C-alpha cells in the first residue's frame, strides 16, 4: 500500500499545481491527503493481521524471535503509516520540480539500512532478537525523521501545503482515485 500511494498522485497533483485556479490545487492536494489517511488505515489493518498471525504463517525459532518479529512488524507499520500520510506532501518535491532535493532526500532515506546495520555491528553487542528490533527502530526512525522533516520544510515554504481537509472536494477525490 505504501508503494502504491508513494508512486501515485503525481499527475493529478501536477495538473492541479500548474492550474491557474488556486482552489483546484487546494482541493486536489487535500483530497490526496484524505486518500493517504485512508490508505494508512488499510495499512494498519494489514499489519495488525500480520502481527496476529505471524507464528501461524512462519516457523520462527527460538521463541524470543517471535516477539522480536512482532516488534519489527509493529515498528515497520508505524513507519509505513507515517510515510503514507506524508506521501502527498513529499510528492510535491517532484511536482514543484525540486528534483535535486528530492533525489538527495531519497538517497538519504535509502542509506538507512546501511547506517542501521553498521551501527548495530560496530557500536552494539546485542543478542539477535534485540538486534532485529534495533535495526527496525533505527531504519524506521531515520526514514520517518527525514521524510517528516523534509515534508514540514515544504509546508513551511509553501503555506498551501498545510493540510486543510475541508478544502477537499468529491470531484477532486474522484480525480485522485
Classify the C-alpha dihedral 66-68-69-73 as positive or negative.
positive
Residue 38's pLDDT is 92
Residue 142's pLDDT is 93
Instruction: Among 2-11, 103-112, 121-130, name the one with the lowest average pLDDT.
Output: 2-11
Give the residue with greater pLDDT, 51 vs 177.
51
Residue 49 has pLDDT above 90, yes or no: yes
Residue partners of 73: CB distance under 8 A and separation at least 6: 47, 50, 51, 54
This prediction's pTM: 0.86
Mean pLDDT for the chain overall: 89
Amino acid at each position: 500500500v505504501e508503494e502504491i500511494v508513494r508512486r501515485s498522485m503525481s499527475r493529478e497533483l501536477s495538473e492541479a499545481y500548474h492550474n491557474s485556479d488556486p482552489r483546484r490545487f487546494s482541493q486536489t492536494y487535500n483530497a490526496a491527503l484524505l486518500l493517504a489517511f485512508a490508505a494508512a488505515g488499510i495499512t494498519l489493518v494489514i499489519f495488525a493481521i500480520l502481527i496476529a498471525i505471524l507464528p501461524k504463517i512462519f516457523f520462527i525459532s527460538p521463541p524470543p524471535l517471535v516477539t522480536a518479529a512482532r516488534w519489527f512488524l509493529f515498528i515497520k507499520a508505524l513507519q509505513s503509516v507515517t510515510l503514507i500520510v506524508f506521501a502527498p506532501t513529499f510528492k510535491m518535491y517532484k511536482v514543484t520540480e525540486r528534483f535535486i532535493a528530492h533525489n538527495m532526500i531519497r538517497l538519504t532515506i535509502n542509506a538507512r539500512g546501511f547506517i542501521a546495520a553498521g551501527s548495530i555491528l560496530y557500536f552494539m553487542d546485542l543478542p539477535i532478537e534485540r538486534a532485529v528490533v534495533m535495526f527496525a527502530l533505527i531504519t524506521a526512525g531515520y526514514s520517518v525523521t527525514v521524510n517528516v522533516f523534509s515534508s514540514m520544510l515544504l509546508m513551511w515554504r509553501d503555506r498551501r501545503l498545510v493540510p486543510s481537509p475541508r478544502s477537499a472536494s468529491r470531484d477532486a477525490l474522484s480525480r485522485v482515485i
